[in-house]
Structures are given as C-alpha cells and as structure tokens.
Amino acid sequence: MLNAAMTDMIATNRTTAILGMGATGLSVARYLSAMGQSFVIADSRQQPPNLATVQQQYPDAPLMVGPFADDLLLGFDTVVVSPGISLAEPALVVARQQGVRLVGDVELFLAQAKAPVILITGSNGKSTVTQLVGEMAQTAGLSVGIGGNLGTPMLDLLDDAHQLYVIEVSSFQLELVNDTRGAIAGLLNISPDHMDRYANLQQYHKAKHRIYRGSSTVIINRQDPLTNPLLSQGVTVRSFGLNRPDLDCFGVIEEEGEVWLARGLELLMPAADVAIKGSHNRANALAALALGHAAGIDMSAMLQTLKVFTGLPHRCEYVATIDQAVYIDDSKGTNVGATLAAINGFGEEGRAHLILLAGGQGKGQDFSELNTPVSRFVKQVILFGQDAAQIAAALDGSRPVTFVDSLSAAVAKARAVAEAGDIVLLSPACASFDMFSGFEDRGRSFKREVLAVAS
C-alpha cells in the first residue's frame, strides 16, 4: 500500500521522481524544469543539505524527506536515481520488480548532448585526466564542457554551442548506463574501491565496464588486464601504458638515455617536460593523449597543455619545501589503489625516502597491498584516524609505524623525522569522514599545518 505522503504526490499526476537532493539531484531538477516536465523529489535524510534550495526554487514540486518506504515509487513511470543511492535500496528493488524505469543523469545527458562525448572512469586518476583532456581541447580552440562526477554536474553543461564534452563518471553513475550512444570511453584502471557498497571486486568491475556499452572507441590501460573489454567487432580499441606502444597506441620509448612520450614509433615529447610529476601522472598524461587523439584534438595543442598543466588540488599536489624536504598533498588518495600509485609514482629504487601519512575510514579495504611499496620506498609510516590500526596490522613491520591522534600531530611528527631529499606524502588510502567533511577539507588542513611550519 502507498504511504499517505506518496498518495498525495501521485495525485498530482507527476510521473517522474528524483531521488536525492545532492548536487546531482539538483541538476536533474533544473534539467526537468527547463524541459517543462513536472516531478517530485525525495531524500532519505531528514535534513538534506539542499532542502532549503529545493523548497525555494521548486515550491510547486512535492517533496518528501526521511527513510524510503518499500512502496515509495510504485506510482511512478520513471525514477531518476542520484549516484549516492544504492540500487540495493529496497524501494528501488521493489520499483524495478514492478517495471518502474530507473535512470541516472548519464542517460539523460547522453540523450541531449549534440556534440561528441568523451566518458572517463577508473579507480584513480579520472579527475586529473578529465580536466587535462578538457584543457587540451580548450587549448586547441574548442568550446568544451568539462565536468560530471568532477565539478559541474553534466546536465548543467548542456549547451548547443559546445563542440565536445569531457565527462568524468563514477562506478555509481555507470550502474544504470545501458548505452553510451557512441561516446569515446576511457577506463584508466581498476583497483578495489567502494567495497562498502559492492559485495566484491567483480561487482565493482562489472559496474565500471558498463562504460563500454555502445561506445565507438575505447581506451584501455594495457598494463591493467581488468580494463580489457569484452566487445563485439567494429569497436576501435586503443591503449596507453608506461611501456613501448603498439601502432596507434600511446606509451614511452627510451632514446639515447632519455624517456619520451610516444605514439607508436613517433616520439612526441620528453617525459621530463610533462608538468605533472610522478610515474602515475605520466600514465595519466598518456591516457589523456589517447583520449584526445581519438576525439581528433590537435596533437600540438595537447603537447603544449602537458607542459603547463600542473594538476588538480589534493591530487599529488606540491605544497612546500621545508629544510629540503618536499611536502605533497594527495588527500584525494581515498583508496589503496590511489595510495599505491602515489607511493610508486614518487618512489626511487634503492632509496627509502618517503614519509607516508595515512589513515581514516577504510571502507572495508584490504590494506595488505601497501606492504611491498612501503617496504621499498617508505622510511616512516605515520597513521591517524579510525582505521589506523588496520593499516598497521597489514604491514610487515619492516618500517617504523607511529600512531597519532590528529593530522596536526602527523605533520609535526613528519617534520621531526624528515631529512633533506625526503618526501612527506599525505596519501591516506582512506575516506576522511571520521575526522573531516571530505578529502578537500583534509587536504586544506594538511596545507595549513605545513605552511604554518614553512612560514
């Protein structure tokens, strides 16, 4: 039986429901409103962050807050689901069983976008690559919409003047994608993430691979077998990797002692000239070149961009040098894969010169993969936050571990042990919500502490 609140909603003859009042939900409301389509909007939280905005901007739209009843959606034809809401939510399970159409913002966006679309996903690096490809297109003189899971919600980017869209998509957004309508699709890498939402890596892998459905060209990481697609004939597949590339693919070639970015046998630019540093960022640069090339972006414009693009905040971002020790903010390293990339990216063989600051909410991850790179490149591990003990238990004890109760104390400890040539690396391998409002808040806090010492 329908609850009373929803009976009132359905009496309005509105057949579309929006679930979630976050940034995506608001963008859907703006989109549907601009299309002249009525809707209702609901959020399982009693006090959603944008409740006042919804009430002010859409006073005629029925809304409901609080836990979803199982029969909440049975009177609707279509439900637009925000990515933060699991499809295992009982109200969505029941709705699906009864034939209610569930869609996400990706499907709505692709149905309206009139310019070519590049979709980018991956466990790590997707925001950097999205922004980098977007700036490459801008340097080439194109009008481009850049956003999605990064920055501006994709529905807010729709503009008939755009000549290209470069869109970051998360696994959550991909769960409802059935057809990318000929988009260029890039899957950068896959490592365990969001294991609090997915039952296992296979389920997460399956969600990521939905980016390939209906794509015209796919870009894969040839050094990560989990990115390899199962595709029908007729789809163009190109790859990138930190090794020698095949024809029409991107990689690196060593020539007379210098490492070059290359397309096939064509040397493009010295790797040392890429502004974003670390081997993981070199891979990001190659992925961007592969995606941009597939979209027809001018090569000289792309190479020019690589020389000046310094990266995004909190993603292996340089903060300061104090007493010849470098401090790096990788607060966006919210999973083990990201922290592995950062450690390996800044590591140097035969030299343990990293001081790793890590910890937070582990989201059910297995931290044992950190053990090998920590033993190779890290001289001191400083742990904080809710699951610090789990990280310590996964390490073999070959490197000293110190527990602290705050990020401020972690910076102070790092300052005490850092020597000339060391790198102090905040790359937590964890979510931040035990101590901060998000990874940005954590990164800003780290910067404040470091810069206070530097001054």
Catalytic residue positions, numbered: 126, 149, 194
Count Cβ neighbours within 10 Å for each residue of 305-328 and write b for 16 or more, e otherwise: bbeebebbebbbbebbebeebbbb
- Residues 366, 336: contact at Cβ < 8 Å? yes
* Residue from 69, 74, 63 nearest 25 by CA: 63
Cα(184)–Cα(133) distance, rounded to whole angstroms? 12
* Residue from 291, 331, 292, 326 nearest 311 by CA: 331
Q: Please, where are the H alpha helices in 365-419?
A: 371-377, 388-394, 407-417
Owner of token pair 């527990």: 403
For residue 65, which amino acid is it? V
Cα(431)–Cα(104) distance, rounded to whole angstroms? 24
Q: Tell me the sheet residues that pair with 148.
A: 168
Cα(162)–Cα(111) distance, rounded to whole angstroms? 15
- Residues 94, 70: contact at Cβ < 8 Å? yes
Count Cβ neighbours within 10 Å for each residue of 274-295 and write b for 16 or more, e otherwise: bebbbebbbbbbbbbbbbbbbb
Is 98 exposed, middle or buried, given 0-12, 13-18 or 19+ CB atoms closer than 10 A?
A: exposed
197 phi/psi in degrees, rounded to 5: -110, -35
Give Cα separations from 77 to 17, 32, 43, 55 (angstroms).
8, 15, 18, 23
